[in-house]
Structure formats: structure tokens, C-alpha cells
């Protein structure tokens, strides 16, 4: 793609991004516990599993930031522009989806159509979104593979966390059979937010490195 990020040591940008991500996860999980344990779920804005919540906003911001950063990489690398623009478009859609919950609606619609229990809605939407998920996974993997350095492990770590979050969501119907507190919500949402945070951090590192290289070359 372009000049590889040479160092595997974490830069100041990477450390700041990781710190912000960790803080966001702690805040999100803490607010969820507060709403469930103390406030008896009277404040949906604090519930990580609710529409229009702080958790949804944080995830949407991270996804939209990733989309904008990929667009900047598309400007920097004309030879990869089409693929990067497509990747940015899918990331922007995910940001929109996190707020309006299109995937939740699709899951409910499909399970209604086949007469299944609504608790299986979480198992349906990943199948419907598989092409979009593949575009994001392969697109980000390629960016990390070509740029290397600290960008690659951050992107791989982010994708792994997103996969872990989705796996927990797929298991949620079984978990809720025996867990009264539904702990999978905290784990799932924390993994997803951490994943998107690491991805946004990696892309920030990539953009800073590439545009700094361009400036010094000129």
C-alpha cells in the first residue's frame, strides 16, 4: 500500500488511543452496572444493551472515526482508493446501525417470519450481515498486513475482540438460561467497544505515519 510503519514499539498516539479505549470501556461497564444493580434499569441511557444509550453512542463514534480515517488513507493511496472507500462506507453504515439498530430489527423480523423465539434474533443478524462483516475484516486485515509495525497488532487485536463480542452474543440465549443477571451484555459490549477503539487507534497511527512520511518526503 505504502510506506510500512517501521516500529513495533507503541507510539504516543497508540498509547493515548489505548488509554481512551480502556477508559471508555470502564465507563460503559460501570454505567451498566449502576443502572442494573442500583437503579433497577430505570435509565435506559445507561444500559449497554439499550437503544440510544451511552454505549451505543460510544461505539458509533469509534466506528465513524474509523470510517473517516480510512477515507484519509484512500486520499493518500490512489491505487487502493476503491477498496478503501468501500471499507469506509461499510464502517459508516455500522456507525449508523449502532444508533438506529437496523441489525436488531432485521433479526426480529426474520425470527418472526419463521415463527422462532425472539431470543434467537441475536443468532440471525450475523448471518445476514456476513458480507459486510467480511468486507470489514478483510479490508482491515489488508491494511494491517501492508502497513505492518504497530498498526498490524492493533488491528488484529481489534478484530479479535469484535469476534469475541459476536461469539458471546451468539451464545446469549444459552447464557440467559442459567444467568439471572445476563453478564454477557457487559462482556459483549465491552469487547465490541474495545475492538472498535483499537481499530480506530490503529487507523489513527496509520494516518499520522503516512501523512507525516508524505510531508517529510516533500
Q: Tens digits of per-residue pLDDT, 14-59?
A: 999 999 999 999 998 888 888 877 887 788 777 776 777 788 888 8
Q: What's the predicted TM-score (pTM) here?
A: 0.84
The pLDDT confidence band at residue 74, using thresholds 50, 70 and 90, is very high
Task: Output the pLDDT for position 209.
Answer: 85
Burial 168-191 (b: 16+ CB within 10 A, else e): bbeebbebeeeeeeeebbbbbbbb
pLDDT at 179 over 70: no
Q: What is the crossing angle of helices 184-217 and 54-76, to 10°?
A: 30
Q: Tell me phi and psi for residue 148, to 5 degrees.
A: 65, -150
pLDDT at 103 over 60: yes
Task: Output the pLDDT for position 157.
Answer: 96
Instruction: Please indicate whether residue 9 or residue 92 has the higher confidence score (pLDDT).
Output: 92
Task: Output the pLDDT for position 218.
Answer: 47
Amino acid at each position: 500500500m505504502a510506506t510500512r510503519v517501521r516500529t513495533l514499539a507503541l507510539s504516543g498516539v497508540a498509547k493515548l488511543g489505548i488509554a481512551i479505549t480502556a477508559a471508555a470501556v470502564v465507563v460503559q461497564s460501570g454505567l451498566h452496572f449502576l443502572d442494573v444493580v442500583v437503579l433497577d434499569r430505570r435509565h435506559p441511557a445507561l444500559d449497554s444493551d439499550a437503544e440510544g444509550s451511552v454505549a451505543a453512542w460510544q461505539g458509533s463514534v469509534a466506528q465513524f472515526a474509523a470510517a473517516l480515517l480510512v477515507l484519509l488513507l484512500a486520499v493518500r493511496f490512489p491505487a487502493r482508493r476503491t477498496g478503501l472507500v468501500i471499507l469506509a462506507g461499510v464502517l459508516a453504515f455500522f456507525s449508523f446501525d449502532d444508533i438506529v439498530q437496523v441489525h436488531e430489527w432485521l433479526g426480529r423480523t426474520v425470527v418472526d417470519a419463521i415463527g422462532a423465539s425472539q431470543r434467537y434474533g441475536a443468532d440471525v443478524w450475523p448471518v445476514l450481515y456476513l458480507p459486510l462483516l467480511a468486507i470489514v475484516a478483510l479490508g482491515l486485515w489488508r491494511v494491517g498486513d501492508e502497513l505492518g509495525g504497530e498498526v498490524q497488532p492493533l488491528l488484529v487485536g481489534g478484530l479479535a475482540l469484535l469476534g469475541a463480542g459476536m461469539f458471546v452474543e451468539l451464545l446469549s440465549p444459552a447464557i440467559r438460561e442459567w444467568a439471572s443477571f445476563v453478564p454477557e451484555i457487559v462482556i459483549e459490549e465491552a469487547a465490541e467497544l474495545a475492538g472498535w477503539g483499537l481499530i480506530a487507534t490503529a487507523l489513527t497511527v496509520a494516518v499520522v505515519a503516512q501523512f507525516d512520511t508524505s510531508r517529510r518526503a516533500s
